[in-house]
Structure 1
Amino acid sequence: MKFLDYSRSSIAETISHAYVALDQSYINENEMEELNESGNTVWKKINGMIAYLKRYQQTNSTK
């Protein structure tokens, strides 16, 4: 769970750096949009895995 949280933080940091790259004209709006979409997709998958693991822990801790 800790490493999944680290992964979410890394996604946020990557998007933050991408905005800096956009401001400096290293990437364009289309590339920024692609990065945002990819980041959101991965973020949602990680959140889903965290939710699954929490449910799994709750289910198995009551046994």
Structure 2
Amino acid sequence: MPHFVGLAVGAIADPEFPMPEQAAWTEDMHSGVELPEVTSAYLRNPAPKSAFRDQPAPE
């Protein structure tokens, strides 16, 4: 997925850097990590939004 960029938590030491909007693969997240309540969390990769518009619904 070349249109996505992933950053490690804590990789940027700038307090003005925006908070993450979503977190993927949270099933592998360390137990001490807490996500803000406004962050969308997915156990694995979320389905791309285009998958819902461009493909027929599964039967």
TM-score by length of 2: 0.27
Query: Whose Rg is larger?
Result: 1
Higher helix share: 1
Higher strand share: 2
TM-score by length of 1: 0.26
